[in-house]
Amino acid sequence: MDIIVCIKQVPDTAEIKIDPKTNTLMREGVPSIINPFDLNAVEEALQIRDSLGDGKVTVLTMGPPQAESALREAISMGADEAVLLSDRAFAGADTWATSYTLARAIKQLGADIVFCGKQAIDGDTAQVGPETAEFLNIPHVAYVKKVEEVQKDSIRVQRLMDEGYDVVESTVPVLLTVVKELNVPRMPSLKGKMAAKKTEIKKMGMAEIGADENDLGMKGSPTQVRNIFAPQFKTERRMLDGTPEEQVNFLVKELKESQCL
Amino acid sequence: MDYFLDEEQLMIRDLARQISDEKIIPVRAELDEKEEFPWDIMKALAQSDFFGLAIPEEYGGLGKGCFELAIAVEELSRACLGVSTTFAANALGTYPLLLFGTDEQKKKYLPDIASGKRLVAFAITEANAGSDAAGVQTTARLEGDEYVLNGTKQWITNGGEAEIYTVIAMTARNKGPRGAAAFVIEKGTPGFNFGKKENKMGIRASVTRELIFENCRIPKENIIGKAGMGFIIAMKTLDSSRTGVGAQGVGVAQGAFETATKYASERHQFGQPVISFQAVQHLLADMAIQIEASRSLVYSVSKFIDSGAKDVTKESAMAKVYATDVAMKVTVDAVQVMGGAGYMREYPVEKMMRDAKILQIYEGTNQIQRNVIGQALIKETAKMR
């Protein structure tokens, strides 16, 4: 069973500061980490590989050349291969163009299971996983909290819901996005770290994935960011007076008038 | 200070520190309080390949030496000496096999030790044997193809939790020290049981038990080296492991020093941080000097051992004595710098002080180490004449 894990290098939000003048993130000097949910995805992929005793785990990322360090970190945890999708044409991609690019690469590489974190902690869209599955035309299950059983042609997982969970069975190939409840990601190993230094990272660009420039990066992105700002709270607040009974009656009346009840 | 560690040594240090910060520091107070064996941490260390550090690559290890082991032990000790004792005792128990085991014995045991699948313990101490190693009363009688062991070992670190034991016993008591042999014995062998778990002042996350042998029969192939070599094996084992105890001293002192320094810069008296007072600065300066000196000595002696030097007894004893005496002094002073806070369990230094004491006692008391150094000096002087 071949598994691809899509990972993203993100700024360590615990260390991040906001520029008070422009309201944008100050990225300079902020350490980069693997998106935490993606670590759960890597861990699960390694566990499945090790329990089945065959197949390989490939980590895949789209990003600038420095994203290579995130791939090497995944190798040091035990992943077998790493692929870096890097091309000037990929720059400025929204979730649509990113998913398209990832899907083209996954098609080239081939996989039975594709893992993604449920969302990245920088953009928080949670769209890239499911969109990638759509481009690949394979089923997906989002918010996986447990993988119950993996078979040659099917997989059974638990999907985290607001109250409890669903048990979902899917055919394979499948794409799964995972939540942190899934597992505890392992630490790197010394042998893994030594291997990671030597592992050759496969690089793929526009030509290698056979994509059209107009479908990639900024050009292929329907989303246009016009402005980034911190929302301001301007809600009206009122304190109620009187006995509890009077306050309740007033509250019910107001809620009815504002059509909340 | 920069010790010019190479890339892989830095990797070992950084990963050991990451494990310490993420897995050990958050639970060390609880492990100490409950006397709980740190299985989760041992599993993390196993998964990260730390148990294979000093085991040759052909047996599944990383083929590193005493120096790399010292770097790892120092980092773990900075967080918790109970955890690092559990880890380091494993290396101690492995040395007899590593130094004197046959190829078959190495093939049989070292891969499982390197992967951390099975823990190891070393057993020499008894009720009437410790500093006086020749007082060992546990016997191993050859009967046909088997050795039959009888006797009780005490204060054995990792006892009961380890799967593999390297044990010193007498094959010929009438020959004195020359009548000893080393054996490898597996947990579960009939006639091999464990006594009570000791309740200790410090290193409470580590476990200490008695090993009880009652007509315990083992195949005669389980002898390590030859009959009569037991004490040589024990002494060579301790020669190799002493720098590890020294590294424990460096680590625990460093941990206490860092906590005390941070506290001294936050605690205000007379309107200023207490670190601004010379009385406190001088205490901290002395701590810093002694820690750096003991680190330099432990690192140098570790490299000397790794160079393949034949006789390292005196130097390894020096590293053990100096670094562990410093550890005791520095942890006591760390409590003093922190005053009332240092005495409270809310802060880690009182535990570090309790933990540090064992370093002056186990693997040869510091008095015995000084005897060893003294005897080496006598020999050297005699040669010069």
How many Cα neighbours within 13 Å face the side chain of B86? 29
Whichever domain contains B162, its CATH number is 2.40.110.10
What mean pLDDT do residues B15-43 have?
97
Q: How many Å separate Cα B365 from the centre of its chain?
A: 13
Shared domain for B279 and B354, answered yes or no, is yes
| Predicted pLDDT of residue B257 | 98
Residue A59: inside a domain: yes
In total, how many domains does chain B have? Answer: 3
- B2 assigned to some structural domain: no
Q: Which domain holds residue B188?
A: 120-229
pLDDT average, residue stretch A198-215:
93
Q: Do A187 and B62 lie within an 8 Å CB cutoff?
A: no
The answer, for A197 touching chain B at a CB cutoff of 8 Å, is yes
Mean pLDDT of chain B: 96
Which CATH number do you get for residue B60?
A: 1.10.540.10
For chain A, how many structural domains are there in total?
1
| A156 interface with B at CB cutoff 8 Å | no
Q: Which residues in chain B touch residue A189, judged by CB atoms under 8 angstroms apart? A: 47-49
Percent of chain A with pLDDT over 70: 98
Catalytic residues of B: 363
Q: Is the pLDDT of residue A230 over 90?
A: no
Q: Indicate whether B192 and B75 sit together in one domain.
A: no
Domain of residue A131: give its range.
3-215
Residues B204 and B147 in one domain: yes
Using one digit for the tens of pLDDT, what is the confidence trace for A161-187?
999 999 999 999 999 999 999 999 999
Averaged pLDDT, B153-182: 95
Q: Does the residue B376 lie in any domain?
A: yes
Whether B214 is covered by a domain: the verdict is: yes
A7 assigned to some structural domain: yes
From A187, A192, A193, residue closest to B19, measured CB to CB: A187
- pLDDT band of residue A237 (cuts 50, 70, 90) is confident
Instruction: Say what percent of chain B tops pLDDT 70.
Output: 100
**Do B282 and B315 touch, CB atoms closer than 8 A?**
no
End-of-domain residue from the set B114, B137, B171: B114
Per-residue pLDDT, B281? 98
Residue B192 to chain A, least CA–CA distance (Å) = 35
pLDDT class of B76 with cuts at 50, 70, 90 = very high
Q: Which residues contact B259 (CB under 8 A, 6 or more apart)?
A: B334, B338, B347, B348, B349, B352
- Whether residue B127 sits in one domain with residue B109: no
Q: Inform me whether the C-beta atom of residue A225 falls under 8 Å from chain B C-beta atoms.
A: no
How confident is the model over A57-67, as pLDDT tens digits?
999 999 999 99
Q: Same structural domain for residues B222 and B313?
A: no
* B60, B27: one domain: yes
What pLDDT was estimated at residue A227? 78
For chain B, positions 38-57, list CB contacts with chain A under 8 A: 44, 47-50, 52-53
Co-location of B91 and B43 in the same domain: yes
pLDDT at residue B82 is higher than 70: yes
pLDDT in tens, A83-129: 999 999 999 899 999 999 999 999 999 999 999 999 998 888 999 99
Domain-ending residue, one of B114, B139, B159: B114
Per-residue confidence (pLDDT) for residue A23, from 0 to 100:
66
Boundary (domain end) residue, out of B83, B114, B145:
B114
CA distance B13 to chain A (A): 10
Closest-approach residue (CA) in chain A for B68: A190
Please tell me the pTM assigned to this model: 0.87
Q: Is A61 helix (H, G, I), strand (E, B) or coil?
A: strand
Which residue of A lies nearest to B21 if distances are taken between CA atoms? A187
> How many percent of chain A have pLDDT more than 90?
75
**For residues A69-92, average pLDDT:** 95
Judging contacts by C-beta atoms under 8 Å, the chain A residues touching residue B22 are 187
Quick check: is B144 in a domain? yes
Q: Is the ipTM of this complex over 0.95?
A: no
What is the band of A45 on the pLDDT scale with cuts at 50, 70, 90?
very high
Range B209-224 average pLDDT: 98
Q: Is residue B45 assigned to a domain?
A: yes
The reported pLDDT for the residue numbered B134 is: 79
User: What's the pLDDT score for residue A25?
Assistant: 67
Question: Does B8 contact A at CB distance below 8 Å?
Answer: yes
Query: Of B22, B23, B49, which is closest to A190 when you measure between CB atoms?
Result: B49
B1 is a domain residue: no
Is the predicted pLDDT of residue A15 greater than 80, yes or no? no
Q: Which of A11, A128, A112, A122 has its CA nearest to residue A52?
A: A112
Euclidean distance between CA atoms B181 and B139, whole angstroms: 9
Q: What is the CATH number of the domain that holds A8?
A: 3.40.50.620
Q: What is the pLDDT of residues B150-167, one digit of tens each?
A: 999 999 999 999 999 999
The model's pLDDT over A47-60, given as tens digits with 9 standing for 90+, comes to 999 999 989 999 99
Q: What is the pLDDT of residue B379?
A: 95
Answer whether B62 sits within 8 Å of A190, measured CB to CB: yes
